[in-house]
Structure 1
Amino acid sequence: MGTVQVNSIKAWLLAARPKTLAGAATPVLLGCALAYAEGRFQMIPALLCFLFAFLMQIDANFINDYFDYLKGSDREDRLGPERACAQGWITLDAMRKGIALTTAAACLTGACLLAYGGFEMIPVGILCILFAFLYTAGPYPLAYHGWGDILVIVFFGFVPVGCTYYVMCRDWTWNVTLASLACGLIIDTLLMVNNYRDRDQDAKSGKRTIVVRWGAKTGQRLYLFLGLTAAWLCLLFIPTGHIWAALLPQIYLLPHFMAWQRMVKISKGKELNSILGETSRNMLLFGILLASGLIL
């Protein structure tokens, strides 16, 4: 990694974890595609939705970095990307200020969206910020009690896909529900491989993820199941006339199956980070394929 100066721009970029922004962009992309398919796409609210999603993802990364460090989860045996607080790249005081600033920026962006989505967007924005903290903070951190997968489906599926569509169309349709669920399941593959890699360390830290509770074999099967289900759900677009939205996502199945095979073969250790990278690329591929299908 080389030398990272304390509280430097490089340190903040590493803490923001820009590679995770694909997970924030994919749902908004799908929401935009759904609106475009109905001839109701609007550029300004689309850009605001992307900005809000990026800010919330970075905020969540900062919050997780800070509170996982305080809980002692980021130990020397960590297999995932190095964390800024644990490495001493960012001081705890600076991280608190970074979290406050990013949260404020997300709130300001969300306020701008009220002009398009109405005041009903306020409780949604509050819930986004609240659960960004509740994920790893507080007396009952949700990620430590196996709620991570449900939260991903809600806050990386239904909330961003549905709200992006809503601020442009002021409506909710069957296609929105379908795309939201498929998107949430796809993004959960990223959490699943992350938890599969960290299962031994999470068990020591008292982090009771699904993989820790039910075992590595369950993690393998769920990873495969999530991708298959998301792709096959898209076949339900056929009755609504979106043939390409049903067919194009099936292309995703091949790289997903190949990543699953390698995941099972590697089984343990830092080498699983390569599967994390593949899963992220596959997730973005799925989003592009489904969005293209909806537009076509």
Structure 2
Amino acid sequence: MGRTRRAHRRGRSAPGQQPGSGFSARSAPTGVTRPPSVPNSAQEASAPGSFPLSRWARQTPRVTTGTSSGRRGASGGAEPGPVRRWVLGARPRTLPAAVVPVAVGIACAVGEGHGLSAWRMVAALVVSLALQVATNYANDYSDGVRGTDSAGRVGPLRLVASGLASPRHVKLAALAAFGVAGLAGLALAVVVGWELLLVGAACMAAGWFYTGGPRPYGYAGLGELFVFAFFGLVATAGTTYVLVERVTGLAVAAAVPVGFLVTAILVVNNLRDIPTDAATGKRTLAVRLGDRRTRGLYVALVTATFVAVPIVAGLGERPLGALSLAALVIARRPVTVVLSGAKGPALIPVLGGTGRLHLVFGLLFAFGVLVSGALGN
């Protein structure tokens, strides 16, 4: 009996230890911090700069070391391979935000009395996509080295913060993507005008200094303003400019609803991140406005998008642009969730829904404007 009791005492787990595991819950491996609890219903979503991209990113603990060999997710799943991690780090779900303004800009150029150049269209698209990817990598690098990508952050895979890539390599990836955008922009500047180099330089600076540099404007509450300017006005009107070599009133007007929706994506992204951004000193517009007013801003931007459509379609003599009003069906769900007071991971589907709304709206708008221009009315 005594031997049995001693064996029983030896088999008992220490406090905080799983039976038979030999691993204490109070002594996690060096460099790994436990992620906060996330509801199983949380889904990844798509947004400029903050679109959650993989189930792995939800499940794995944050790793603070610079190497990644042999690490596994908390659920036992393997981490992304060398290629996949860079694809995820580029945040491919944000890319529609770069495609829509180019599509609308091309549509605005139709019917302007110019034979449109296919290679210029492709070059404009390459510039927009490369700038988006470059900005995503630059954001990952800057937030990672600054320490504002906290372990409790809800969002896409971050290469630097997770330890899947070194800051130097992520910075080089950002510079490489900026280089691709620069080369395509240079080709356009040669045939269109050297003024495009100034516009391109401004776009690159906006991409880098969003979270980079000593005074990132994204931390000063100016992110939404710059997104509206560059992913709305500049990208849309700029595409039309490289095709017809002048700024048209239609292109500027059409850029407004496009800019409203892409800004709404950033607004709901920052609404989701208010707690972690406030804790790390990242004073986004959402942090400054507070939860309630940020929700109001989101609804106002979505509403203003659809209010602007008949004005642009009518005054611009492109009546079929009103086809984009059909996207109101998609707008209902994300607006309802935002008004319900959803927070944190519950806003991830809203982020994805707003991204889809932007894509569907933009393609319908571009199609309607293009057909009206081709028909001459």
2 CA distance for matches of 1:102 and 1:281?
25
Per the alignment, do residues 36 and 252 of structure 1 end up closer, same or farther by CA in structure 2, a change over 3 Å counting? same
User: CA shift at 1:109, angstroms?
Assistant: 1.2
- Which of 12, 20, 24 does residue 86 from structure 2 map onto? 12
1:208 aligns with 2:303: no
Choose between structure 1 and 2: higher helix proportion: 1
Q: Distance in 1 between matches of 2:161 and 2:316?
A: 50
Q: Quote how far apart the aligned CAs of 1:14 are.
A: 1.0
**Identity, % of aligned positions:** 31
SS at match of 2:132: helix
Secondary structure of 1:122 counterpart: helix
Q: Is the deviation greater in 42-51 or in 226-235?
A: 226-235
Separation in 2 of the partners of 1:96 and 1:204?
Answer: 25
Give the aligned CA root-mean-square deviation in angstroms. 1.4
Whole-angstrom CA distance in 2 between matches of 1:277 and 1:133 = 24
Task: Give the whole-Å Cα distance in 2 for the aligned partners of 1:262 and 1:232.
Answer: 21
Conserved? CA contact 2:264–2:354, under 8 Å: yes
Distance in 1, matches of 2:281 and 2:358, equals 29
Aligned residue among 36, 59, 64 for 2:110: 36
- 1:27 equivalent in alignment to 2:27: no
Q: Is the 8 A contact 1:227 1:253 kept in 2?
A: no
Distance 2:83 2:107 in 1: 34
Structure 1: runs of 5 or more not aligned: none
TM-score (norm 1): 0.95
Whether 1:230 aligns to 2:324 is no
Identify the range of structure 1 (48-57 vs 29-38) with the bigger mean alpha-carbon deviation: 29-38
In structure 2, relative to structure 1, the CA distance for the partners of 1:5 and 1:229 (3 Å cut) is: closer
Structure 2: 5+ residue stretches without partners:
1-55, 57-76, 372-377
Structure 2-normalised TM-score?
A: 0.75
Q: How does 1:1-296 map to 2 (within 5 A)?
A: 1=56, 2-4=77-79, 8-38=82-112, 40=114, 41-236=116-311, 237-245=313-321, 247-265=322-340, 267-296=342-371
Q: Deviations 1:116-136 (Å, cap 9, x if unpaired)?
A: 421110100111111111111
Runs (4 or more) in structure 1 with deviation over 6 Å come to none
Query: Contact between 1:56 and 1:129, CA under 8 Å: does it hold in 2?
Result: yes
Conservation of the 8 A alpha-carbon contact between 1:37 and 1:294 = no
Which stretch shifts more, 104-113 or 148-157? 104-113
Distance 2:110 2:248 in 1: 14
| Greater radius of gyration (CA) | 2
